Amino acid sequence: MKKFNVALVGVGVVGAEIVKILRERNFPIREMKILATRARTEKIGDHQYEIEPAKIESFQDIDIAFFAGTEGAKGASRQFGWQAVEKGAIVIDNGDDYRLDSRVPLVIPEVNPHHLKEHPGFVSSPNCSTIQLVMALAPLHQRAKIKRVIVSSYQSVSGTGRAAIDELQSQTRAIVEGKEVLREVYPHQIALNLFPEIGSLTDEFPGYYGEEVKTVKETRKILDEPHLAISATCVRVPVIFAHSEAVNVQFEEKLSPREAREILNSSPGIKVIDQPEKSLYPTPVEVARKDDVYVGRIREDSSIPNCLNLWIVGDNIRKGAALNTVQIAEEMIKQGLIS
Ligand SMILES: NC(=O)c1ccc[n+]([C@@H]2O[C@H](COP(=O)([O-])OP(=O)(O)OC[C@H]3O[C@@H](n4cnc5c(N)ncnc54)[C@H](OP(=O)(O)O)[C@@H]3O)[C@@H](O)[C@H]2O)c1
């Protein structure tokens, strides 16, 4: 099998997980460079890696560049993404800088692998909370056509990156030890608390924070449903890994909870745990570090016709970011789009 020269940009929570997943899945690597803002040696899993400062020359002779750097003007994707494409690399980006760019496919390989055919050398991986939502919605949409979605998310702090995991841990220690609780990353204390604010307020959707807007727009793009009725409230909770979502879905046609369970159980990348009488449903602690998206509490909402409630839990760092990114590369190799 052909092997590829790979670059990874960013070695925070997502980047480090990409390194582990590439090894676990025996990704066909000839050589790998790891790039970040500054040079150092870093231990990831059992291995020590040399980290180089990212420069445009770093992308010379690179076949596949996984981007897991910070978003925004000073972030890696805006600084180097398209220049890496010009140098011949296929860029697969975790950040939100180009997800809604009409040139760029936004891909979950189990859902819309056909979107990869039109790639301009740059592909985006969706937002973590969108990936797990759409993984569960897509097979149900195929069977009964979705009319409207209302999602409330309960999102872990690893979604904000390494600094936020440290903040939850240090605040929890401070509370237990009776010390002052210090805040740097979040606008509120996160230990023993939660708050309905993820991202920045937007002018386009007054009153909604960025994560809520991403959920709406990215879901529509991935499902090829530009007018899908969907509304989101995203909440940060004191959980380290895995996001949870309470989802209310109205369909055009009748879909029983039993049929929804069967459809989801036979869909790739999804597992159903749904025995409420035994208190069996997915929770973040059990789903953390797993690759599948888990669905439970599948039940009818009898307040309107053709409506179900679902509870969806997925590891935001695995399927919500690093795994999906690596799967995009695997799918592109399978389709002969990277050679
Ligand atoms: N965490 C999640 O659940 C999640 C899910 C989906 C998508 N994402 C996206 O994935 C990306 C990475 O997230 P994360 O949580 O891993 O962040 P993180 O823990 O804050 O790590 C960011 C990494 O990016 C590097 N970096 C930042 N600016 C750079 C630049 N200009 N050039 C090169 N490297 C740069 C940093 O380098 P240093 O180490 O040298 O500082 C660091 O290694 C973000 O775009 C995020 O929005 C995250």
Q: What is the pLDDT of residues 79-102, one digit of tens each?
A: 999 999 999 999 999 999 999 999
Rounded to 5 degrees, what are φ and ψ at 262? Answer: -65, -45
| Residue ID of nearest Cα to ligand 1 atom 15 | 161
List of the chain residues with pLDDT < 70 = none
Return the pLDDT at 308.
Answer: 98
Structure tokens at 119: 């790639």
Ligand 1 within 6 A of CB of 126: no
Q: Is 37 in the pocket of ligand 1 (CB under 6 A)?
A: yes
Q: How far is the CA of 67 from the centre of ligand 1 (A)?
A: 8
Question: Which residues have C-beta within 8 Å of that of residue 257, sequence separation ≥ 6?
Answer: 298, 299, 300, 308
For residues 226 and 228, give the distance between their C-alpha atoms in angstroms, rounded to a whole number.
6
Phi-psi region of 73 (alpha: psi -120 to 50; beta: other; left: phi over 0): alpha
Tokens linked to 324: 């999906």
For residue 13, report the distance from its CA to the centre of ligand 1, in Å: 7
Please write the tens of the pLDDT for every residue from 266-290. Answer: 999 999 999 999 999 999 999 999 9
Cβ–ligand 1 contact at 324 (below 6 Å): no
Q: What is the DSSP letter of 291?
A: S
Which residue's CA lies nearest to atom 1 of ligand 1?
159
What pLDDT score was predicted for residue 115?
98
314 lines ligand 1 (CB under 6 A): no
pLDDT score for 1: 83
Q: pTM to 2 decimals? A: 0.97
Q: From the CA of 79, how far away is ligand 1's center (Å)?
A: 13
Q: Return the active site residues.
A: 128, 243
Q: What is the pLDDT of residue 134?
A: 99
CA–CA dist 217, 208 (Å, integer): 13
Percent of the chain with pLDDT over 90: 99
DSSP notation for 70-89: --STTSHIIIIIHHHHHTTP
Q: Which domains does the chain have, with CATH numbers?
A: 4-126+321-334 (3.40.50.720), 130-316 (3.30.360.10)
The radius of gyration computed from the CA coordinates of the chain, to the nearest angstrom, equals: 20
> Is the distance from the beta carbon of residue 12 to the nearest atom of ligand 1 less than 6 Å?
yes
